Amino acid sequence: MPLGDSGPAVVPGDATKSLLIAAIKHTDGLEMPPKKKLTDKQISDFVLWVDSGAIDPRESKGESQSLPTKKTKSTDHWAYKQPSLPVIPTVADQNWATTDIDRFIAIGHEQGGVKRNGDATPEVLVRRLYFDLTGLPPTSQDVKTFVELCSKDLQQAIQSTVDQLLSSERFGERWGRHWLDVARFAESSGKETNFSYPHAWRYRDYVIDSFNRDLPFDQFIREQLAGDLLPANDDQRRAELMVATGFLALGSKSHIERNKKQFEMDVVDEQIDTVTQAFMGVTVACARCHDHKFDPIPQSDYYALAGIFRSTETLYGTIPVIQNNNPSQLVSLPAGADVTINADRLTDTARQSLEKQINELRQKRLELTRKKQFASSEFVQSGILLATLEAKLKAYEADGTPKKLAMGVRDRSKARDSELFIRGEVDKPGEVVPRGFVSVLCSTQPKLPSESSGRLELADWIASTDNPLTARVMVNRVWQHLFGRGLVDTPDNFGVSGSNPSHPELLDYLALTFIEEDKWSVKSLIRRIVSSRVYQLDSATNPENFAVDPDNKLLWRVPPRRLDAEEIRDAMFLVSGILEPERPIGSVVATGGEGYTGGIERFGLLSESKFKCRSVYLPVIRGRAFESMDVFDGVDGSMVVGKRDQTTVPTQSLYLLNSPYVMDLATSAAKRVAEEERLPKDRVRWIYEVMLGREPSAQEVESALAFIDKAKAQSAPTGRLVARLRSPNAEQTAWAAYCQSVWASGEFLVRK
Amino acid sequence: MSSFPQAFTSRRSFLRSVSYGFGAVAFTAMQRSQAIGADASSLSPRKPHFEPRAKRVLMLCMEGGPSHVDTFDYKPLLEQRDGKPIGKGKVPNGRLMKSPWNFEQSGESGLWISDLYRELRSHADKLCLINSMQCDIPAHPPAFVQMHTGISTSPRPSMGAWVLNGLGTENQNLPGFITISPPPGVGGSVNYGSAFLPASFQATRIGSNKQPIAKAQVANLKSPRPSTLQQEQLQLIRSMNHSAQQRDPDNSFLDGLMEAHELAYRMQGELPEVIDLAKESSNTNSLYGIDRPETADFGRQCLMARRLLEAGVRFVEVCHGGWDQHRNLKEDHAEHAGATDKPIAGLLADLESRGLLKDTLVLWGGEFGRTPYAQIDDGRDHNHTGFTTWMAGGGVKGGMRYGATDEFGYEAVDNKMHIHDWHATILHLLGLDHEQLTFPHAGRDMRLTDVKGNVHLDLLA
């Protein structure tokens, strides 16, 4: 309920704590209406309304009715209670289930009256495993090996393949990307002006490495929130921990904001929003201006957390130019750390030339200042250039080696509690709220130290086994990436307005085994889930089941999913034989230095055709996603995204059919096909095996060859077309058109 | 209609030709809405909350902040006090500057319009000048983003995306929301994005204001291959999907994918024709000022917008930038007004003669106005506390002046219209209640107007 200046007017479910009731009863010195007291009957109606949850009747009409009105007290909400280890259900069909996970699912099948699918074929299963665990399709050899292994021992085949995939570097690139979505990773500020964050890529690499090293998830949380406050034995480790805190620094920012306090509170708000959604699936940022409308999160909780982040200094860089009123320092990584450097040494000549330019600009600006020409474009432009060059010079040590810089945070010299801002307005400070955590999730508020921010304590509390949400939220994220839909379908919102879990016991079982048996190992959790029988189910639809459970909540099948943007691009590159699998050093955003992102754009550094790396390493400029990502619902780091859209829209078709970028790729694929096989029918077979992971039927070969013939006839080389496709002949054009058609087909775009 | 031969039969007959199961057509259609989300189908037209006054929107966006005291907000006192300090506001010693342009009353309504918009004077009785506009921040990027999305500090859906969310669109062969020549800066794609709304609600962009519209293209709309080859490709894809569908009969993704390919193909056929201005008569060209270099670009934008609206696109935005005259006001404002006056006058005349004006809401305005006092010698600073936009057509009172600024044009004092109110009123004209048009995101029901906005009913016809 709206918070007045003296506290909440109504506490749903509790009339005795509601000021409104006190006021209409004329107790506690508040008298409303002031002159004439309501009748006893009217008052008791109000009491009844508040005690029964103070439901807003307006919510039950119109389109906005998306939130169920709950009669239970919101503190009773399932997600705020500790998970408890459920009894493993006994199922009628003893033969199907191979793991405990299966028993939780099977009991749902039995009780829900659905007949689950049979097992997927090995060809389907291997493609599923490869895409899900590494984001890349299996090679035709991988498929053959797996099918062969399966013929001997299916379970063994799965285990060894899963182990192999989990230990591949490609795993971290896939699962790191999932986390980067949640961590709203990007390399620019976004918002109204778009400044480069040239050091953000270090955090990207840290995330990928952490998944590959299988850093326990609780430790991963601590490092991202408070790495700077954790002990480190050496410079190397210290550097890693500092880079991890980039998590807090790389959110979107309105650098143009003139009001410093507003800027500070907006940065803090972004941090609270990200931290609470990412780790705990609660939307605390809703309580910036008033108590949370649905969840038992009072506005004071928000400002208790705000105190922690206001006692923290966020270091994101950027330069002091027009439209940036809020530049900051960066984190200097310890000298002894062996970290990636993606710049060359600054030679003495280059330094002298830089210094000369800087001096000239300073002189010029002095002159303009004398003439009071502050609004001249010359003054503005020279200011931008000067700041850019000064930042460039500052990026090097005195001896010319590039400084080791990162984004991150550190504690301010003094910790302070934050005042609560009435209606979230920074010029309306209210009472000071002691720093603390989300009250509904902890039995007592902690006593935070006065000499440090309390961030370490916050990290420990979020990562503790006692937090009812952290493990549940993470296992749910993992489940969602493997089954297309979480056990809770709103992965970033476990609150009252989120979805209820489809399998609450399974969710708790997974959360508790994740903590106790897996010791927060994400790889163990994934292995546990993909080893289940339910993960092996075929993805076909079935009208009877559909009639009962159209959303497949009971998991009678593994739902097919459209590949995501990274998978589509990476797969096209891989099958064309031109994917560069190694991690690029740093990022082109870094080579552009500090300044507006417009700069790197003008230098042509953001031309998509320049990149042959995996998609996770493409530069991420907020509001300027690459077409290959944007078209297929990729994210640009503007907000926390636990679940991407999965649209099927005509712009994707136009992209696949007409984009010169895809056509160039198809030409590469056609060249590779020509190198691999000579006979047309062998080429078709090769394409099916490599691109679709199966052999073609005789009819499919036939229609492919018919297409090639027609295409050859129609691509009689006219000058313009050849130039466009860089194809030397009709033969290659025809095969390119064929490969491209395969990419636009449903079978290529879907992991079943 | 498309001049392309139809490579596909209709979806219905395609489905009929695929033999599987009972009631498969209805079943697949039902399932598709589950499987591929609300996106593809949610563009179909929907009923508004109540009887609408306008069915479509054309926004004439004047990026940079056109000066209201030199165009549509006549302040005779500026002439009398020229050179004297304003004596109020943030810069009390700012010296008032009289408008370099003469104002005249026009139409039966007698609205005051300056010489900058001479041509538009003949349409005065269609205009509803809103002299009392306000927004939150006097800096271009946040103000521009706020004008488009309501809030500048986090990515929110653009007004056009909200309108599609509320109403869908009429022509399923065309995008529902199109933005022509938007600026790449000042928030960029946020200004026409869908943020947390389904991706299909975002605008299709034609060109950018860095290039003449005559050279602009819609991304990937044209096939670089010969059209016969592309038809063969589509036929092949269709047969591949068909055979995949035989293996997995009710795979709804395949159905959605085929529909998207088909629609893309139809768009590829229909959209180029709609935006191709080559066949327009010389009369039309001169009506929009396309025959004169200074008005050609914006004239083309306006004509293209009119064609798109007529073809059933729900929301079209065109943009003319460069209004930011901190200096050189006299010359540059004359240039920008000169570039837009004739095209807008032609557009209004054309919309009226085609019977479209009555249910097309035309909006004109920039992210803020300019100060009545001078900056440098011949310029004005940003002013967000009072400025002017106007509406025409679709259910608004013509020949009306709504709200007012103070005696200098510095600050709105009467019937203040904040951007949130402006949004609420626009939605109201379209039959949408801005408080009911919500979408759940990040734990709450989001709105274009956030938690604010009042509909100003007095300007409705």
Q: Is the pLDDT of residue A39 over 90?
A: no
CA A455 from chain centre, in angstroms, equals 22
pLDDT at A415: 95
Question: Can you tell me which residue has the tokens 């063969």?
Answer: B232
| Structure tokens belonging to residue A252 | 């979107």
In a structure prediction context, what are the per-residue pLDDT tens digits for chain B, which is 461 residues long? Answer: 333 333 333 333 333 333 222 223 333 333 333 333 333 346 789 999 999 999 999 999 999 999 999 999 999 999 999 999 999 988 899 999 999 999 999 999 999 999 999 999 999 999 999 999 999 988 888 899 999 999 877 778 999 999 999 999 998 888 899 999 998 778 888 899 888 887 778 888 888 777 788 888 788 888 888 888 888 999 999 999 888 888 877 776 787 788 788 878 888 888 989 999 999 999 999 999 999 999 999 999 999 999 999 999 999 999 999 999 988 899 999 999 999 999 999 999 999 999 999 999 999 999 999 999 998 778 999 999 999 999 999 999 999 999 999 999 999 999 999 999 999 999 999 999 999 999 987 777 899 999 999 999 999 99
pLDDT at A23: 72
Instruction: Please check whether residues A296 and A396 belong to one and the same domain.
Output: no
Query: Coil, strand or helix: which one is B162?
Result: helix
pLDDT at A17: 74
Instruction: Please check whether residues A395 and A246 belong to one and the same domain.
Output: no
**SS3 for B36-62, per residue?**
CCCCCHHHCCCCCCCCCCCCEEEEEEE
pLDDT at A645: 76
pLDDT at A64: 34
A639-648 tens-digit pLDDT: 899 988 777 7
Strands (E), A448-549: none
Alpha-carbon gap, residue A221 to A338, rounded angstroms: 23
Q: Minimum mean pLDDT among A90-94, A151-155, A572-576, A701-705: which range?
A: A90-94
In sequence order, the 6+-apart residues with CB closer than 8 A to the CB of A265 are A306, A421, A426
Which positions 271-290 of B are in contact with A (Cβ < 8 Å)? none
> In this structure, is residue A279 part of a structural domain?
yes
> In this structure, is residue A198 part of a structural domain?
no
Query: Are residues A430 and A299 in contact, defined by beta-carbon separation less than 8 angstroms?
Result: no
> In this structure, is residue A297 part of a structural domain?
yes
Alpha-carbon gap, residue A576 to A573, rounded angstroms: 5
> In this structure, is residue A645 part of a structural domain?
no
CA A516 from chain centre, in angstroms, equals 26
Instruction: Please check whether residues A357 and A318 belong to one and the same domain.
Output: no
> In this structure, is residue A74 part of a structural domain?
no
Q: Return the closest-CA partner of residue A639 out of A273, A96, A289.
A: A273
Last residue within a domain, chosen from A55, A77, A94: A55
Dihedral angle over CA of A460, A463, A466, A471, nearest 10: 170
Instruction: Please check whether residues A418 and A362 belong to one and the same domain.
Output: no
Dihedral angle over CA of A50, B447, B132, B54, nearest 10: -120
B238 to chain A, any CB pair closer than 8 A? The answer is no
Q: Tell me the mean pLDDT in the region A670-676.
A: 96
Please give the residue range of the domain that contains residue A396.
348-401
Q: Tell me the mean pLDDT in the region A91-98.
A: 92
A102-128 tens-digit pLDDT: 999 999 999 999 999 999 999 999 999
Q: Is the peptide bond before A33 cis (omega within 30 degrees of 0)?
A: yes
C-alpha distances (whole Å) from B361 to each of B336, B430, B460 are 23, 9, 11
Last residue within a domain, chosen from A9, A40, A55: A55
Query: Coil, strand or helix: which one is A188?
Result: strand
Phi/psi at A405 (5° precision): -120, 155
In sequence order, the 6+-apart residues with CB closer than 8 A to the CB of A260 are A325, A326
Q: What is the DSSP letter of A334?
A: P
> In this structure, is residue A320 part of a structural domain?
yes
Q: What is the DSSP letter of A616?
A: G
Residues of A in contact with B182 (CB under 8 A): none
Which residue in A559, A655, A700 is closest to B243 by CB distance? A700
Instruction: Please check whether residues A328 and A427 belong to one and the same domain.
Output: yes
State whether A746 and B220 contact (CB < 8 Å): no
B46 to chain A, any CB pair closer than 8 A? The answer is no
Instruction: Please check whether residues A415 and A294 belong to one and the same domain.
Output: yes
Q: A504: pLDDT confidence band, cut at 50, 70 and 90?
A: very high
| Structure tokens belonging to residue A407 | 């984004």
pLDDT: which is higher, A153 or A46? A153
Question: How many domains would you assign to chain A?
Answer: 4
Instruction: Please check whether residues A373 and A267 belong to one and the same domain.
Output: no
> In this structure, is residue A620 part of a structural domain?
no
Which residue in B140, B199, B375 is closest to A649 by CB distance? B199
Q: Is the pLDDT of residue A296 over 70?
A: yes
Instruction: Please check whether residues A303 and A329 belong to one and the same domain.
Output: yes
> In this structure, is residue A530 part of a structural domain?
no
End-to-end Cα separation, chain B, in angstroms: 35
Instruction: Please check whether residues A230 and A379 belong to one and the same domain.
Output: no
Q: Which amino acid is at B417?
A: M
Domain segments of chain B as ranges? 55-209+277-459
Q: Which CATH architecture has domain B55-209+277-459?
A: 3-Layer(aba) Sandwich (3.40)
Q: Is the pLDDT of residue A79 over 70?
A: yes
Query: Are residues A459 and A228 in contact, defined by beta-carbon separation less than 8 angstroms?
Result: no
A737 to chain B, any CB pair closer than 8 A? The answer is yes
Q: Return the closest-CA partner of residue A556 out of A52, A114, A232, A166.
A: A114
Helix (H) or strand (E) holding A364: helix A348-370
Instruction: Please check whether residues A678 and A738 belong to one and the same domain.
Output: yes
pLDDT at A174: 98
State whether B268 and A646 contact (CB < 8 Å): no
Instruction: Please check whether residues A735 and A714 belong to one and the same domain.
Output: yes
Instruction: Please check whether residues A242 and A357 belong to one and the same domain.
Output: no
Q: Return the closest-CA partner of residue A655 out of B252, B199, B148.
A: B199
Phi/psi at B341 (5° precision): -60, -60
Residues of A in contact with B38 (CB under 8 A): none
Q: What is the DSSP letter of B447?
A: E
Q: Minimum mean pLDDT among A607-616, A690-699, A721-730, B323-332: which range?
A: A721-730
State whether A738 and B236 contact (CB < 8 Å): yes
Q: What is the DSSP letter of B434?
A: T
Last residue within a domain, chosen from A55, A71, A99: A55
Mean pLDDT (chain A) is: 90
